[in-house]
Amino acid sequence: MSEEKSDLIDVQIDGEWHKFPKGTRMIEACKEAGVEVPHYCYHPKLTSPGNCRMCLVEMGMPPRPRPGDDPAEPDEDGHLPIGWMPRPVIACANTIAPNMGIRTTGPLTEECRRGVMEFLLANHPLDCPICDQAGECSLQEFSVEHGKGESRFREQKVKKPKNVDIGPRIRLDDERCIMCSRCIRFTDEIADDPVLGFTDRGSHTTLAVHPGHELANNYSLNTVDICPVGALTSNDFRFQMRVWFMKEVNTIDPNCGTGCNIVVHSRQDEIYRITPRENNDVNSAWIPDSHRLNYHWINSELRLTDPLIKDGKSHRQTSWEDAIELSASKLSGLKGSEIAIVASARMTNEELFMVRRLATHLDAGYVDIVPRMEKSDGYLISADRNPNTTGAKLILGLEDPGSKLGKIKDAIIKDEVKALLVLQENLIDDADFAAEDFSSLEFLLTSYPMANPTAEAADVVLPGACWAEKSGTMLNVTGRLQRLNQAIDGPGQTMQSWEIIRDLIQNTGGGNGIYSTQDLFNLLTSEIPDFVGVTWDQIGDLGMQLVDTGETIPLLEKERQRIAKGLIVG
Amino acid sequence: MSIAIPADLEKEIDKRITHYPVSKRSAVLPVLHALQHHFGFIDEDAVEWTAAKLELEPIKVLEVVTFYPGFRQSAPGKYHIRVCRTLSCAMAGSYELMESICEKADIDRSGVTHHDPIAVSKDGKFSIEFAECLASCGTGPVCLVQDDFHEAVKDVDGLLAQYK
Amino acid sequence: MSKVIYTSGKEPHARESRVVFKNVDREGWDPSIARYMSEGGYDQLKKAMKMEPQAITDEVKKGGLRGRGGAGFPAGVKWGFIPPNNEKPVYLICNADESEPGTFKDRYIIHQDPHQLIEGMAISSFAVGAKLAYIYIREEFPEGAAILEKAISEAHEKGFLGKDVLGSGFDLEIYVHRGAGAYICGEETGLIESLEGKRPYPRIKPPYFPAAMGLYLCPTIVNNVETLCHVKHILEVGGEEWAKTGTPNNTGTRILCVSGDVVKPGYFEVQVGHVTMGELINDMCGGLKDGRKLKAVIPGGSSAKVLRAGEKFTVGRGDDAKEIDMLDIPMDFDTLAACGSMAGSGGVIVIDDSRSISWVLNNINAFYAHESCGQCTPCREGSLWMKKITDRVVAGKASPADIDTLDSVARNIDGRTICAFGEACAWPTESFIDKFREELVGDTDASNSEKILNPESLAAAANLS
Ligand SMILES: Cc1cc2nc3c(=O)[nH]c(=O)nc-3n(C[C@H](O)[C@H](O)[C@H](O)COP(=O)(O)O)c2cc1C
Ligand code: SF4
Ligand code: SF4
Ligand code: FES
Ligand code: FES
């Protein structure tokens, strides 16, 4: 046997020896060895009840020599022969032991899987083609792989409630439920809202909310994601679109400073749903409902689709060239100190870098952003409802974001500021501005994805791309650098902010030679001290800790405690 | 909530709760027993009251109530009968006993289902259900009437006559 | 000590050795503490309080006391599983759920001799360091629960329970906790969940072995009523002396409960292994009813595998190996296990030739389908499936192929579930098919295989390809 002094233990999986840290669950060891053990109830973020029995595998240990017998001879690698146990064990809740053997193939394991599949399907409706989960149902997947071809179940099925309204956003089909209890454990352990439970018993066990109560917490839709079958479905998404028709893009949620990792599911530039993506340094595996569902406006009638210029009291459509040229001519006649820029902490770092360039180029008197400070929900929603305040602070050199907004207002009233550029913000609704505050301005430009009162007052209105329509990076509240990836193209003539600003700079006599977000990223990472040296690949799909702000994400802190107690894998 | 808990019942319940110094939740069964003893069954209000008393979500109480056949969710007759159905009693004639009681007490069990195991006599005096092994298999057929245990029941008229 | 006289008609059989059941059906006996103390009651607790806890455990180990609740696990060894460096509170739970069909022994201890149990529990609690103990009693013993509560308060008054038991500095509270009609609450981890106020879903083991992570995730010892009573008697005579009763590795006395098709069903406390199946049925229970022949015996509660009349077994090893008839099986843990069944809870159910095997199996399957907690897939789905198949066998609506399906359903449960209920519900079906296949198939009709019973699932099956 190897004499290494470490916490790594030797485990044989399907004939191959591997090393894993002590305490690793068998299922996780298999996964690391590239062997997927089918499972329904197990979820690394939740406690393990071991109830579905899908993960049964064959297990063995080197037998202890009987008294008087010589110990067995190790093989040439120093491993003792394994004595296989006649009974299978669950891989999800059992941890590995030194010199353990695991067989995920072979007659015993296969028989177990076939048996469990047959049991799960016995009372399950077999109408996959009309089930909304079709295409992403683990039961359907495994049944094709492990189930028996034809049903031996000749009895009447147990009847249970169908189409139950268990909350404002979720529906339950109890006949499809396989009683894995994932949803119950999620609401008990993660959402601290234990409103789900099983009633009745045996084969009649029924998932339920208490009569008159509902599953309404702001994390409820995560239960739909983790339900392995089509028992829980989202009212927002149900029957909207077959999953195999959709494009999936990994990106981040822009609704607060946490930057939950998400997948945007879309088809033909229309978003159909958003699901969380696991990132143990950001959002674990979850996302708040309010953020997940905040996408309907993107494909709505409220979008600005064309550049507009003020013509008397109303606006008229124009071309980008005209809009930019008009803006440039208005700005050219002004001194830098007469120009103020209000940018947005919803912008990417690359866009903020362009704002910085613009400010320098115009020698603008004021640059600030609109802060969005509220209260944290104690889980994932951070107090900062801007996704990139950290980036704005570093790149624009802001110490106290928003602190200059009042001064800008005063300066406008005192006629010290004559032109105001509002980039991707709406000062009337989201900051302390009123339409009259703009009346003395010579020039007001605004870019924004949607029609809004600030745009109403502006001389030039530019349709700005929203978060789903652009790529770049953002820094979350903890200082983690993450990638925002474009999921869809914006409607009409929307432009991304960096393009708008590039054109403004060029038309006011500045040159730059920036043609892509990649160029921008390269400039950002060579010019801004904290970003120097960072590469796109380094950020990867899960981001990288760039700076340490000292901020923490409450849900992750709780998760760490559960991991430390050995309750969950994490 | 419209449930009225008499003071002495609540006092008894409070005392029961002290038997579980580590976790109040442990008192779910005793609280429900006390309520069922008093009201005859556990209705939605009783579930809510228990949940509030023990600081639990009502579903966590309903989970328990619906698991155990010992808790009834609708009103039984004045006297509730449980006839053992399991093997030794069945061999000793418990199915016949059930039939005989139903006939004599005018109880129609045709509507009995898994979810509705209890049938009540027309006059509301008796209700009846099958129970599993009552741990007196040597003296079958056996039954419980309220809290009274009856062994080797042969004389159904005599049995029913004990309950006025 | 006064001579022990039993109620007329309920006298113990001559082959009995009454220890735990000494006071059951006894003339002039009552469950009061005064009566109990008039014959040395609580003397063993007094003795225990002067001993080291470990010394008590050692005596129990020497006695070789095996659990009387079903699994036959050595009690002293179980007590030794409490982690040595444990700093959490320890709990003791008396399993008075008595829910295994065919078993009716704890009932009599509780109703007639409650202080024996309380004394046994107090001694055991002291041995394992438990300051809080519960008696989990089935709801269907309402009178038993009241008797136990009265006994506990009497013991309190005498200083045998409560703070500073008998001046020893040891504190102990015992409370009675009533179940609500669920067989699964007899399974120790289901019991613990029930006692925590949750659905009685048995826990996975590992990691939740009660002795390490039981009630409130603290070390917890769960023992059967009869087991805990024996502790008192072990202390009285000493482990070594106690172990001289019974047979090696199957020590002491145990109560066998006989029901079903015998002339005189009842309970019999015998030295383990001193009585054979045949002696139990024919001598102690008066044999079968007139004109009836023995067909089968379920020897250890309904979960135990059935034995067929006339079945032969090879017992003993090497030179000692011999073939014996089913009626010659000594009623001990090891021999019944060697015969492929188990001593279980001591509930012996006798089945004569007037019974239809399909009907018997269907009755048993109905029990398990009703009692499955439904937590884990094979047992939840399989127990009801088996019941539905035997429903059809009894109704003449099954085909021979259904018996094969039945058999494979049972084998797909066995060994693959969270708790031993899986085996408990599979073994009857497996063993009845093993031993009575012909009779079961005889109740089927091949033409039934053509009949579509569940059009919904046959049609739908086409969707799964
Ligand atoms: C389904 C099931 C039901 C059980 N029912 C009982 C019971 O009613 N009473 C009992 O003492 N043990 C019962 N047991 C055994 C307990 O789990 C446990 O082994 C026993 O209480 C330990 O006590 P002992 O070692 O003194 O026998 C049951 C086990 C299973 C799997
Ligand atoms: S609804 Fe889904 S997640 Fe919840 S228990 Fe049923 S199958 Fe599992
Ligand atoms: S084996 Fe049966 S009783 Fe035991 S946990 Fe599983 S479903 Fe429940
Ligand atoms: S995944 Fe369900 S038992 Fe292991
Ligand atoms: S079978 Fe009826 S009491 Fe046991």
CB–CB of A49/C375 below 8 Å?
yes
Domain boundaries, position A40:
5-66+77-105
CB–CB of A39/A52 below 8 Å?
yes
- Ligand 4 near A116 CB (within 6 A): no
| Mean pLDDT of chain C, nearest integer | 96
Q: Is the pLDDT of residue A149 over 60?
A: no
Which residue ranges form the domains of chain C, and what is each CATH number?
33-244 (3.40.50.11540), 247-352 (3.10.20.600), 357-463 (1.20.1440.230)
Taking the C-alpha atoms of residue C329 and residue C336, their distance in angstroms, rounded to an integer, is 7
How high is the pLDDT of residue C246? 96
Give A235-258 pLDDT, tens digit per residue: 998 656 677 789 999 999 999 999
The DSSP secondary-structure symbol of C326 reads G
Greater confidence, A124 or C284? C284
Whether A421 is in a domain gets the answer yes
SS3 state of residue C234: helix
Question: Residue A155: which of C377, C388, C415 has the nearest Cβ?
Answer: C388
> Residue C385 Cα, ligand 1 centroid: separation in angstroms?
25
C-alpha dist (Å) from residue A43 to A39, A287, C104, C374: 9, 16, 43, 20
Give A41-63 pLDDT, tens digit per residue: 999 999 999 999 999 999 999 98
Give C360-387 pLDDT, tens digit per residue: 999 999 999 999 999 999 999 999 999 9
Instruction: List the CATH number of the domain containing A391.
Output: 3.40.50.740
Instruction: List the CATH number of the domain containing A17.
Output: 3.10.20.740
**Long-range contacts: A357-361, Cβ < 8 Å, 24+?**
A357/A501, A357/A505, A357/A510, A357/A512, A358/A421, A358/A501, A358/A504, A358/A505, A359/A396, A361/A505, A361/A508, A361/A510
- Token readout for C81 is 């599983």
Residue linked to tokens 């809004």: A452
> Residue C207 Cα, ligand 5 centroid: separation in angstroms?
34
Ligand 5 pocket: which of B86, B139, B150 to mutate (most atoms within 8 A of CB):
B86
CB–CB of B20/B52 below 8 Å?
no
Which residue ranges form the domains of chain B, and what is each CATH number?
7-67 (no CATH), 79-161 (3.40.30.10)
For residue C101, the chain B residue with the least C-alpha distance is: B133
Residues in chain C: 465
> Residue A205 Cα, ligand 3 centroid: separation in angstroms?
12
* A11 CB burial (10 A radius; 0-12, 13-18, 19+): buried
How high is the pLDDT of residue B81? 98
- Token readout for A344 is 């947005």
ipTM exceeds 0.90: yes
Q: Is the pLDDT of residue A516 over 90?
A: no
Confidence band, pLDDT 50/70/90 cuts, at residue A2: very low
For residues C44-65, give the mean pLDDT: 97
Whether A513 is in a domain gets the answer yes
Q: Is the pLDDT of residue B154 over 90?
A: yes
How high is the pLDDT of residue C221? 98
Roughly what angle, to the nearest 10 degrees, separates helices A497-507 and A320-332?
50
CB–CB of A252/A260 below 8 Å?
yes
Chain C, 380-409: which have a CB under 8 Å from a chain A CB? 380-385, 388-389, 392, 402, 405
Among B128, B115, C140, smallest CA distance to A200 is for B115
Q: How far apart are the first and last CA of chain C?
A: 78
Whether A428 is in a domain gets the answer yes
Taking the C-alpha atoms of residue C291 and residue C309, their distance in angstroms, rounded to an integer, is 16
Chain A, 150-209: which have a CB under 8 Å from a chain B CB? 194-201, 204, 208-209
Q: Is the pLDDT of residue A5 over 60?
A: no
Whether A191 is in a domain gets the answer no
Lowest mean pLDDT among A124-128, A213-217, A339-343, C225-229: A124-128
Among C417, C437, C144, smallest CA distance to C303 is for C417
Any residues with CB less than 8 A from the CB of B99 and at least 6 apart, and which?
A: none
CB–CB of B88/C261 below 8 Å?
no
Q: What amino acid is encoded at A106 in this protein?
A: G
Confidence band, pLDDT 50/70/90 cuts, at residue A1: very low
Whether A550 is in a domain gets the answer no
Give A184-211 pLDDT, tens digit per residue: 999 999 999 999 999 999 999 999 999 9
SS3 state of residue C41: coil
Residue linked to tokens 């809740």: A93
The number of distinct structural domains making up chain A is 2
Residue A541 burial (CB count, 10 A): 12
**Index of the ligand 5 atom closest to the CA of residue B134:** 3
| Mean pLDDT of chain A, nearest integer | 93
Give B33-62 pLDDT, tens digit per residue: 999 999 999 999 999 999 999 999 999 999
Residue nearest to atom 8 of ligand 3 (CA): C373
Q: Is the pLDDT of residue C464 over 50?
A: no
Q: Is the pLDDT of residue A140 over 90?
A: no
For residues C402-422, give the mean pLDDT: 98
Helix residue spans in A397-553 (DSSP H): 405-413, 427-430, 453-457, 497-507, 517-527, 536-539
Taking the C-alpha atoms of residue A443 and residue C406, their distance in angstroms, rounded to an integer, is 84
Give A109-138 pLDDT, tens digit per residue: 999 999 999 999 999 887 777 777 777 787
* Dihedral pair phi/psi, residue C253, rounded to 5°: -105, 160
Ligand 1 pocket: which of C188, C201, C221, C427 to mutate (most atoms within 8 A of CB):
C188
Percent of chain B surpassing pLDDT 90: 96
How high is the pLDDT of residue A240? 66
Q: What amino acid is encoded at A542 in this protein?
A: L
For residues C76-92, give the mean pLDDT: 97
Taking the C-alpha atoms of residue C7 and residue B149, their distance in angstroms, rounded to an integer, is 20
How high is the pLDDT of residue A517? 85
Give A268-303 pLDDT, tens digit per residue: 999 999 999 999 999 999 999 999 999 999 999 999
Confidence band, pLDDT 50/70/90 cuts, at residue B109: very high
Q: What amino acid is encoded at A440 in this protein?
A: S
Q: Is the pLDDT of residue A150 over 70?
A: no
Give A458-505 pLDDT, tens digit per residue: 999 999 999 999 999 999 999 999 999 999 999 999 999 999 999 999
Work out the angle at residue C247's Cα, subtended by the Cα atoms of residues C242 and C248, and round it to the nearest 5 degrees. 85
Sheet strands (E) in C316-381: 322-325, 347-352
The DSSP annotation for A450-462 comes to B--HHHHH-SEEE
Whether A515 is in a domain gets the answer yes
Q: Is the pLDDT of residue A147 over 60?
A: no
How high is the pLDDT of residue A4? 47
Whether A372 is in a domain gets the answer yes
For residues C230-235, give the mean pLDDT: 98
For residues B9-28, give the mean pLDDT: 98
Whether A145 is in a domain gets the answer no
Q: Is the pLDDT of residue B133 over 70?
A: yes
Percent of chain C surpassing pLDDT 70: 97
| Mean pLDDT of chain B, nearest integer | 96
Taking the C-alpha atoms of residue A480 and residue A518, their distance in angstroms, rounded to an integer, is 19
